[in-house]
Amino acid sequence: MGIFGQMEQYGHEQLVFCYDRSTGLRAIIAIHDTTLGPALGGVRMWKYEREDDAVTDVLRLSRGMTYKNAAMGLNLGGGKAVIWADPRTEKSEALLRAFGKFVQSLGGRYITAEDVGTTVEDLTYVQMETRHAAGRAEASGDPSPVTAYGVFEGIKACARQVFGSEDLKDKKVAVQGLGKVGWALCGHLHEAGARLIVTDIHPELVDRAVREFGATPVAPAEIYGVACDIFAPCAMGAVLNDETIPQLKCRIVAGSANNQLKEPRHADMLRERSILYAPDFVINGGGVVNVAEEFHPVGYSRERALARVATIYDKLLRVFQIAEERNISTAQAAEVLAEERLQRIGQLSRLYVAE
């Protein structure tokens, strides 16, 4: 399908191709929907194999941000950018600043932030050229601990839904990925008395979790089949698929990873197996809420950000309620929640107010 065909199919507003001959910057900025406000979403730096892969990724990711921002109750639309480069070898001050200039040229329709392959420090270069960048080191900083807190609150909501109590004491939680979010999540779970089963492709992280949290280690491929109450994917996407879902021996899937379902139908597969799925863009929305707090009239406050992130608990309960009432998967219910806000707030533009 051509690019306009894809934009039409998924409702994108704008796709901006950015090239700078002096730095070799090749970036694409996708603005999916600005009904709720300027499109906010991070910039991913990735060495895509083909140009088409970069286009598909930025279109898919920007649409996801519309739903995530709406579900989190933010006045922000959905956007995302990709820089087609290897973050380990091709990153430079000039490249990041060239990207910043293109962001600035959009006049605030797109607000950038960090994502896979970019760091809070990289953002300081982008910010030299644009006012439209969030997630500054001296403001909200690394969102991961806040994301982990939101996931923890979300897991408690899932436990309440399935076990009738949010108490996680002695609940077995299998955590896939002990990176920035997974590690912080393990800390919360350990403190709450949960029993951890962990895996990572880096053995030193696993050893540390065994030492610090008394976790039980398993090999990366074994995590899907371990008998547990909750499976928390905190590594990569597409981990819920035809091969892994039949292996699951849990009652709940709730973790931070983005795009956990390989295809939408995998949400139905989980439902058929009576496994409660916490839709990723709701349970992992803490990071974007944290960044969005930078736009508060009196500036960023960690306390306010955490209070807002704690509402993920109630948002998930609402998602589960919608799913039950409409007899749909929780993934579909989360989209309903987001669409409700897009519609309700979008309609306000009917009202004329003189500037």
Name the site residues for ligand NAD (rule: CB under 6 A): 143-144, 147, 176-182, 199-202, 205, 220, 234-236, 256-258, 284, 287
Residue (of 258, 46, 127, 148) closest to 135 by Cα position: 127
* Nearest position to ligand NAD, beta carbon: 179
Residue (of 90, 113, 117) closest to 100 by Cα position: 113
In the complex, least distance from residue 239 CB atom to ligand NAD, rounded to whole angstroms: 8
Q: Is 133 within 8 Å of 112 (Cβ atoms)?
A: yes
- Residue 202 corresponds to which tokens in the numbers above? 């880096």
Catalytic residue among 68, 80, 171, 315: 80
Q: 199 vs 329, which CB is nearer to ligand NAD?
A: 199
In the complex, least distance from residue 202 CB atom to ligand NAD, rounded to whole angstroms: 5
In the complex, least distance from residue 257 CB atom to ligand NAD, rounded to whole angstroms: 4
Q: How far is 288 from 144, CA to CA, in rounded Å? A: 10
Q: Would you call 214 helix, strand, or coil by DSSP?
A: coil
Q: 243 vs 324, which CB is nearer to ligand NAD?
A: 243
Task: Using CB atoms within 10 Å of the CB of residue 173, give its burial: 0 to 12 exposed, 13 to 18 middle, 19+ buried.
Answer: buried
In the complex, least distance from residue 235 CB atom to ligand NAD, rounded to whole angstroms: 3
Q: 126 vs 184, which CB is nearer to ligand NAD?
A: 184
Q: Please report, for residues 64, 76, 103, 113, 115, the alpha-carbon distance to residue 110 in angstroms, rounded to integers and kept in the order given.
A: 15, 10, 7, 10, 15
57 membership: H or E segment, kind and range: helix 51-71
**Is 91 one of the catalytic residues?**
no
**Count of positions (residues) in the chain:** 355
In the complex, least distance from residue 308 CB atom to ligand NAD, rounded to whole angstroms: 15
Q: 202 vs 326, which CB is nearer to ligand NAD?
A: 202
Q: 13 vs 142, which CB is nearer to ligand NAD?
A: 142
Q: How far is 117 from 83, CA to CA, in rounded Å? A: 9
Q: What residues are annotated to the active site?
A: 80
